[in-house]
Structure 1
Amino acid sequence: MSDTDARRTWTQQRRFEFLEWKMFWENRVIRSDLESSFGISTPQASVDLRNYREIAPGNLEPTARGYRSSAKFKPRFLIPSADRLLLQLRAALSGVIPKSDLWFREVPPVEVAPDIARSVSPECLRQLLMAMRERVGLEIRYHALTGARRRAIAPHALAFDGHRWHVRAWCCDKEDFRDFVLSRIDEIGETKPVQFDPEHDIEWATKVMLRLRPHRGLSPEQSKAIELDYGMVDGRLEIEMRASLAFYFIRRMNLDLPASAALTPERLQLELENLDTVFAQIQESKEKTKALVTDLKNTHGGHKQ
């Protein structure tokens, strides 16, 4: 982006991005699109179109009612992303964002299989975020599969495992860093001082590289389909993530399960080339945290408050 682009106001940049979005995804734009989407006057919309044509000459072709993208159209303010657009469509259909936030003149026919929502209390999340900012602990009532009990935790991060939101926290009772599913917290008590350091959460700090490939039980044609699905390069896909999240990802994708009559290669689709290495790294990070906490307890009298 040039210095001139950088000097433009955010609202101007946003309207130019909108023009390019309309041209890229709908291949047309008219003045009233700007007026209705941004609440601007007809003269201002005309100025925006004139200015854009001066900035990006040749990008627009006039039509009877407005403009369309030219054959040599090249976006300057928009970074086209199919993933972003599909996420917005999903969010709109799920009620997460209003459909008015979409820039389509007419939303294309689309349907989304419903999610099984896990309800998280806004007040619960608010108090957890406050505790994270102020580096304090609090008491929660947590419903594990083994039953409900009160826990004293000091949260330091949030994490999404693909299905559920967790809070990553120092567990005062177990003297270890653990994950707590947000939807299973139904009571939060008063805050209290807790001596802990998020940097001691080695499992959170450690990054591991997962090397995925099509399952070896697939045919060459099936493997090619999987490579296209995930944008693999040379039949491989490398994904880096925190060690504390890798376990959830591996379990969610069934990467730790062998093929069987119920889980055929066609159903598994992927396998983790370095499964043993990743599990070893996860275990090593856990042991490093445990050793670090033990050393700190011996030196300073412990974390527990």
Structure 2
Amino acid sequence: MEDQPVTIPWSTQKRLQFLEFKLYWEGKVNRGDLTAEFGISIPQASVDFTKYQEMAPQNISYNSSAKHYEPAETFSPIFIELSADAYFSTILCSPTESIATCGSDYVAAVPNPSRVIGLNVLKILVQAIKNKQVVSVDYRSFNNPQAGNTRLISPHAFGTDGSRWHVRAFCHESNSFKDFVLGRIASAVMGSESDIDVNSDHKWLNYAEVVIGPNPKLSEAQKSIVAMDYGMTDFELKFKCRIALLYYLMKKLGIDRNGSDRAGEEQHIVAINFDEIQAAMRQ
């Protein structure tokens, strides 16, 4: 996907993005698709198709017998990302963010109950990050579940494990960088300017290599299936992760324990460099 300068209205960009999405993934698109999705007129839809043809003439061709547009062999996207993740993310999006019809009857996702985050708390944390300020938070943890557990923090980033969000911040009580679950912050009050150098949060700024592979307890045929599932090369998949997020990654993938202690049917993948990951987390 090529970067496009913002030279056309946002609403037009969304329609052209939808047009390109349908063109590539479904193999055809016509003016009726645009009018049905966005409630625009046929003349406006014609203008949009003309605009797209001007921007990417190599992408689109008209099938006069079928009366729809099709992707050309030289198709190269200018609005969408060509990946499976991007496709499913678009299909599963909420209607207010739609560039394609959401809630399709052929795509579904397991419900993921959202954690409640106070908007005022989030707004204060965002502004504190932008302005480098200290925040006083009433934080509820399992060790201190009662109200009034006030802490002074200097936030500098947000992180997520895909299920819940936390704020990465320097805790002035423990004199260290920690993660605070956003849903457990009952209230937040902006304080003075922070003198904390966020560049000293080495676990956030530095990355560790993670190497996963099929569980050794699987059969060779089963290992091949796992390798195909994850796109492994020589039964290994290597990628980088912020050291501060390693704990969440390992929990999510189920590689937080040594794979040799678990049956293959229970855990399909293991961390091949488990000891190195643990060492990085202890730094």
Q: With structure 2 as the length reference, what TM-score do the two structures score?
A: 0.84
Deviations 1:68-108 (A, max 9, x none): 42673623424322211212333x3xxxx216714249934
Q: CA 1:228–1:188 in structure 2 vs 1: closer, same or farther (change >3 Å)? A: same
Equivalent position of 1:293 in the other structure: none
Displacement after TM superposition at 1:283 (Å): 2.0
- Check whether the contact 2:91–2:103 (CA below 8 A) recurs between aligned residues: no
Q: Secondary structure at the match of 2:213?
A: strand
Within 1, Cα distance between the matches of 2:249 and 2:237?
14
The one of 89, 110, 113 equivalent to 1:113 is: 110
**What residue is the counterpart of 1:81 in the other structure?**
83
Q: Shift in Å at residue 219 of structure 1?
A: 1.3
| 8 Å Cα contact 1:161-1:249 kept in structure 2 | yes
1:168 aligned residue: 168
- Residue 62 of structure 1: aligned partner: 63
Measure the CA separation in 2 of the matches of 1:108 and 1:102.
17
Mapped to 2, the partners of 1:2 and 1:75 lie a distance apart of 9
- My pick for the range that moved more, 211-220 or 244-253, is 244-253
Please, which runs of 5 or more residues in structure 2 have no aligned partner?
none
2:144 alignment counterpart: 147
Query: Residue 270 of structure 2 aligns with which residue?
Result: 271
| Contact 1:208/1:242, CA 8 A, preserved across alignment | yes
Q: Quick check: 1:60–1:73 contact (8 Å CA) kept in 2?
A: no
Note the aligned Cα RMSD (angstroms).
Answer: 3.0
Match of 2:129 in 1: 132
Distance in 2, matches of 1:75 and 1:139, equals: 50
Q: Distance in 2 between matches of 1:105 and 1:280?
A: 44
TM-score by length of 1: 0.79
Corresponding residue SS for 1:112: coil
Amino acid paired to 1:253: L
What is the one-letter code of the residue matched to 2:271? L
Residues in 2 aligned to 1:59 and 1:136: alpha-carbon distance in whole angstroms? 51
Partner Cα distance (1:70, 1:195) in 2? 55
Residue 280 of structure 1 aligns to which amino acid in structure 2?
A
Where does structure 1 lack aligned partners over 5 or more consecutive residues?
Answer: 285-305
- Say whether residues 1:200 and 2:200 are aligned partners: yes
Q: 2:255 is matched with which residue?
A: 255
d(CA) in 1 for partners of 2:221 and 2:59?
42
- One-letter code aligned to 1:128: L
| Greater mean deviation of Cα atoms: 62-71 or 126-135 | 62-71
Q: Which residue of 2 aligns with 1:282?
A: 281
The letter of the residue matching 1:204 is: W
The CA deviation at 1:50 is 4.4
**For 1:15 and 1:202, how far apart are their aligned partners in 2?**
43
In the alignment, the residues of structure 2 paired with residue 201 and residue 141 of structure 1 have an alpha-carbon distance, to the nearest angstrom, of 23
Q: How far, CA to CA, are the matches of 2:239 and 2:47 in structure 1?
A: 45
Shift of 1:28: 2.1
Range with bigger deviation, 249-258 or 163-172: 249-258
Identity value in percent? 29
Amino acid at match of 1:134: N
Q: Which residue pairs with 1:32 in the alignment?
A: 32
Q: Specify the code of the residue in structure 2 equivalent to 1:116.
A: P
Does the CA-based 8 Å contact 1:29-1:66 persist in structure 2?
A: no
User: 1:110: how far off?
Assistant: 2.9
Q: Secondary structure at the residue paired with 2:140? A: strand
Q: CA deviation at 1:172?
A: 0.6
Q: Contact 1:168–1:179 (CA<8 Å) still a contact in 2?
A: yes
Q: How many residues align?
A: 277
Query: Aligned AA for 1:252?
Result: K
- In 1, the alpha carbon distance for the partners of 2:203 and 2:97 equals 41
Match for 2:176: what amino acid?
D
Q: How far apart in 1 are the matches of 2:163 and 2:103?
A: 31
